[in-house]
Structure 1
């Protein structure tokens, strides 16, 4: 669930800038100049926040509710930054005030830097938001946003003083934000992956029904994670260029790290058909706040298909003295699609506090709220819900649960989309 601390922090930063910008506007600025430069400054601050989020800092996960939510905000404020920048571009005065030497204005590169930045921003956003573009092409081209940020930074701080007071209170705030943004940009592009990479060796590649389990042996230290978290997996070797995020399906105390990957596209199909034991893998993480341990004593875990993986990790890590009462609802198309079903039955029997509810659509059993009302012993609003699965299923369940009176704060989901 998206937490509000991060959103409030962004809003507070923009509000502070607006107060400083409007409260200390130069006397020779027209209302149009003050207003359009306000919009340009907001666009720059939103871009800065977007770049800071791309560093995947742990403290930011706590503010926003996990890396998946951070990427949602990253994408949203990127779009808002582009809209503010467009309004700024078309609204800012193009003519110089009376008495200003035109020759001095021609000598500064602000206008061409701003034009280039806006062009690349629109192109970059089109690529970022176009789901038809392959991930292998999208990922490297998305780094064009770093160039956009440098251009916009240069545009602001080379603008003529008749338009911008760079060293006024609001200008100094933008300068500080720009320095932080540039440092974060270089870190996310050049330093983050190197610092966070943990090396592993491929121990086994197990073909399952419509999925593949990859078992990794640590080459040095183990990855410290909590059940329900995910990590980025990068396979060394030609043809395995980009990292992909997957939920960890092993328990933290296991000697090996396991990922269970549904065969969805070219990359996951290549995993199944070509990946061999002995290869090297870099794992970056862990990320995510899909944590059920600190939730209420009565919980519903609802898994759709490969959405089982975070709950599989939780079950493998759970101890017999766990006091929670958990109903694991596992929805699949048919029984043979239900991976690890026998293990789930065994673990439920061993633990005693877990009730397994398999639902197979080919038998007419679907994950629906009306069915939960029939099968659960207590009212729906007495449970806390953790859901992971196909987006249409999760969206429908969330809507029906809220209609049935379950508070939003009791519904926890993953937003596993990173583009």
Structure 2
């Protein structure tokens, strides 16, 4: 993610300290710390809602949407930790005024916000819960933010809402509330492009979905993704898919869907020609690398590279595309890629069949491409494969800055499975 975005968040969290010395005089330090935790949680949640809007400036400030969404996730988790600490540490101070029914109601909303957010965060990181159920519950996070904002505005605190710090926090609450209202607004009120499915074809284990615009088309670059809402497929929630075809004059789009999860499996078997689709985007910066490159696509990770191969200029530096497949029958867009490799002298297609050559590693990649250290490596595929390459490619002369990928996971855990696996390995190592 971009450093400017992290700096903006850090500055926003630090702003309350501009007035903290005057507030802290004669106050209990522990209670003041608890008060700040509550303010910090509101600031973090407001930024999290702001990123979720996907407004044009989001990627410019916080980085490509895959990176912005990781920040979105960690801001939410950080806010939850701060709220728990705020509730655990006594924030009450003497001499702040008389408690009224409104103050007590604000305290109650704060408690509801705490437990509601805790439940939703647990649902978010419990990735075994089906996507559509998580998505349905996730929309309530904004309601609990509004409860938290009401709690802040009307509880007794060591400053007034009209003080500079009070006005600053009021702006934070307004930004977070407006952002939540935007993301919760009916789909028809938000900008999108109308498309219609013209064809659905089988592509190995995946299906390719061709779309034609029903009005003003989407303008994208090869390698980008968009959010697609298939209103005729029995569900209305948008989902990100990479656009698997280069831009064309008509504005037609194509996406390739593999049945990997509960939602994508439903998409793969439900879409038909004639169905309406709403498209929001484009997003992402994948494929902007310059100079000689190596592309590695595995499984449905082939999708951005098909578009990039179509758009590859004749004068571009050489590209070697390692297409990792189980076998030819399961490979999506294979005939198309082979045709492109024939027509483009600067595109070299290498089929890496796991059934005969085993799993691709950094060592075998270096043996396949002797000048690997002089190239940028672009990857799209399974997470474990990416982690393995990221760990071992530096040993082959490919630095971290030259290993490029998008990590767009709309919903992730916090590494619990990896932690359990690591602890289990440690246990096995000690017992042997």
Correspondence for 1:344? 337
1:397 aligns with 2:389: yes
In 2, are the aligned partners of 1:50 and 1:77 still within 8 Å (CA)? yes
Question: Against the structure 1 CA distance between its residues 55 and 192, is the aligned structure 2 distance closer, same or farther, given a 3 Å change threshold?
Answer: farther
Correspondence for 1:14? 13
Question: Against the structure 1 CA distance between its residues 137 and 5, is the aligned structure 2 distance closer, same or farther, given a 3 Å change threshold?
Answer: same
Correspondence for 1:235? 230
Distance 2:5 2:187 in 1: 21
How do 1:292-371 and structure 2 match up within 5 A?
Answer: 292=288, 295-320=289-314, 322-371=315-364
Question: Against the structure 1 CA distance between its residues 367 and 64, is the aligned structure 2 distance closer, same or farther, given a 3 Å change threshold?
Answer: farther
- Per-residue CA deviations over 1:228-269 (Å, capped at 9, x if unaligned) read 111111112372222221100011116321111112234433
- 1:393 deviates by 0.4
Q: Judge which range, 163-172 or 258-267, deviates more.
A: 163-172
Match of 2:172 among 158, 177, 185: 177
In 2, are the aligned partners of 1:53 and 1:71 still within 8 Å (CA)? yes
Q: TM-score, normalised by structure 2?
A: 0.89
How do 1:35-114 and structure 2 match up within 5 A?
Answer: 35-94=33-92, 96-97=93-94, 102-104=98-100, 107-114=103-110
- 1:344 deviates by 1.2
Question: Against the structure 1 CA distance between its residues 319 and 194, is the aligned structure 2 distance closer, same or farther, given a 3 Å change threshold?
Answer: farther
1:285 aligns with 2:281: yes
Distance 1:192 1:23 in 2: 46
In 1, are the aligned partners of 2:325 and 2:354 still within 8 Å (CA)? yes
In 1, are the aligned partners of 2:297 and 2:381 still within 8 Å (CA)? yes
| Structure 1: stretches of 5+ with no match in the other structure | none
Runs of 4+ in 1 over 6 A off after TM superposition: none
In 2, are the aligned partners of 1:61 and 1:289 still within 8 Å (CA)? no
Correspondence for 1:153? 149
- Per-residue CA deviations over 1:110-157 (Å, capped at 9, x if unaligned) read 311211110111011112221111111111210111111101101111
- 1:183 deviates by 1.1
- 1:66 deviates by 1.3
Q: Judge which range, 34-43 or 169-178, deviates more.
A: 169-178
| Structure 2: stretches of 5+ with no match in the other structure | 412-432
SS in 2 for 1:25: helix
1:385 aligns with 2:377: yes
In 2, are the aligned partners of 1:196 and 1:285 still within 8 Å (CA)? no
In 1, are the aligned partners of 2:205 and 2:331 still within 8 Å (CA)? no
Distance 2:241 2:405 in 1: 15
In 2, are the aligned partners of 1:55 and 1:192 still within 8 Å (CA)? no
Count of aligned residue pairs for this structure pair: 410
Correspondence for 1:4? 3
RMSD after superposition: 2.0
Correspondence for 1:199? 194
